[in-house]
Structure 1
Amino acid sequence: MEAQQVCPLDMKHSVLDFQLIEAPQPASAAVAAKAAARQGVMTVATENAIRQQTELLTQAGATTAIVDVNALAMLNCLSELEQLDEQETVAVIDVGNATSNVVVYGQDGLPFVRDINIAGASIIQDISRQRELPEEQIRRTFAQGQSSDQLDSKLLLAMSNAIRPLVNAINETLRFYSFQEKTSGVDRIFLCGGFALIEAFVEFLTDSVAMPVALLNPFSTILYDSDTAINKTLKKDGPAFAVAAGLAMRTR
């Protein structure tokens, strides 16, 4: 009943979980008071969404042990890689194929999360429409890892137009967070997800936000055998595996 008041999903066909969170130590009185007022994090997912994920695992021959949330998995990855600083406010942006996740982690130890329905697939579709080119051709071009200086000017313009709504949504999210939390804003951004492998996109995003942007590549820190061909791919495509790494690092 109480969850239904703050959740747009039908709770009769959803699964709910929550985690109480204590203020990080040491914490100022103001930070501790704010964290105390919001005592934890609640996550809700539809039964259908969970069933789809577990069916994928079953098809792959695996058994579901824990169902987690992408946004929290990214923060777990940052935390385990010791990239979180209690004196900083950081944002992690995961630009995947279907959705983009923006997670802001402030000094109160509570994540601020927003999912944006603009991501790789819709951006590719928009560029395809503008340039009247097959989507697969555009994907192959981006897979070559070219910078903005190396891309065709017409393709670069189409990419800029297609990405702008996502960049605007990201900037709007960061401004809203600063206003709501009454902070000076985000100190730096970590970027991950499959679309973060496109150099021209990273350049465009970096130019469009007023703060440092760094790729979140867990395999630049994780020790592993880099001699095999598969593991060499992990190093190159590491930002696409940030969520997976965060899930694998979960201990409880």
Structure 2
Amino acid sequence: MRSSSELTTIGFDADDTLWQNERFFRMTEKRFAAMLADHGEGEQISARLLEAERRNLAIYGFGIKGFTLSMIETAIEVTDGRVPASVISEILDAGREMLGHPIEPLPHARETVEKLAGTFRLVLITKGDLFDQERKLAGSGLGELFEAVEIVSDKTAATYARLFDRHGDGPARSMMVGNSLKSDVVPAIEAGGWGVHVPHELTWVLEHVEAPVAEPRFRQISDLSQLPALVESIRNRV
């Protein structure tokens, strides 16, 4: 007879958990700052861009398109409305390049997902632009390993409760794996599930929160290769 807390479902974040993402935002941000070098130091331009992104999250959501619009807005602001059309065009080109960038899977992503796929229900839970996330999943070659894919506007405890009820046996028997403490780990634990943090060398500042080290269902691993052993240890204790 199964325990009411036995692990049956594992959710995976996508960006910077299964494949590179933030690296391309950082590269484009540096390119953007160079475009506006006559109007401020790189750090100043980046700070203004971050302010715009923070303001616009509730309007544009997460992803490259919102980032591109925030760059345009910032360019208008720092130039007092005198930004040349050529710079706007270059910003749009940069956004299109991001949307077409090849997918770069992170180390151990495929082998780990393949190893767990036969035993657990695997669900990809990611936020961002629908078309871009679908493109990246298709390009990763990992799509066939997931029983379900959910592209959401944000990740909250209510989101995880709903999705783990829909695709699993509820949050208590589910785990969320990701690089963002704020989006992947903390709300999954708040919903009643396990939260596994896989740090990435680059994490967007708006995703930073303190690790919930006192929570009994919090775990951290250095990379995805350690996930199967962690999952097995959790299964053996319940």
Q: TM-score range by the shorter chain?
A: 0.3 to 0.5
Structure with the bigger percentage of strand: 1
TM-score by length of structure 2 reads 0.35
Structure with the bigger percentage of helix: 2
TM-score by length of structure 1 reads 0.34
